């Protein structure tokens, strides 16, 4: 279940993804498979080759890309989420969701 974002934020993310850009969208999220995780960052790009390369360049396995057209994306959670948000200067998302980011949890992928 996703919540904590505006329609404008979602629309902007979809627009960037559709243009073949690497786009970031962080929101609150609850999933029983990941206890203690309360946020997820979706890294999307409609150009799957570009998204796969982005995953490889960031130490992520592209097999975990959700190939949901028209908005394929990789879900970042746990310590990797915080690392990537910092690396790409996503200070607005870090400031907004920072106290909910789980820096010590390492996802299984």
pLDDT, residue 2, reads: 62
102 token code pair: 């789980």
> Highest-confidence range of 20-24, 26-30, 74-78, by mean pLDDT?
20-24
100 token code pair: 């909910």
Sequence-ordered list of residues with C-beta below 8 angstroms from that of 39, at least 6 positions apart, any chain: 26, 27, 28, 29, 77, 81, 97, 100, 101, 102
**Number of residues assigned to the chain:** 109
The pLDDT tens digits of the residues spanning 31-58 come to 898 888 889 999 999 999 999 999 999 9
The pLDDT tens digits of the residues spanning 63-98 come to 999 998 999 999 999 889 999 999 999 888 888 877
Q: What is the arithmetic mean of pLDDT over 96-103? A: 66
């Amino acid at each position: 279940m996703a919540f904590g974002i505006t329609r404008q934020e979602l629309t902007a993310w979809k627009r960037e993804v559709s243009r073949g850009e690497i786009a970031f969208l962080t929101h609150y999220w609850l999933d029983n498979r990941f206890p203690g995780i309360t946020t997820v960052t979706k890294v999307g790009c409609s150009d799957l080759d570009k998204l796969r390369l982005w995953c490889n360049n960031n130490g992520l396995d592209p097999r975990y890309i959700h190939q949901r057209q028209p908005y394929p994306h990789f879900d970042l959670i746990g310590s990797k989420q915080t690392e990537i948000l910092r690396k790409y200067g996503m200070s607005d998302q870090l400031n907004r969701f920072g106290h909910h980011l789980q820096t010590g949890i390492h996802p299984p992928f």
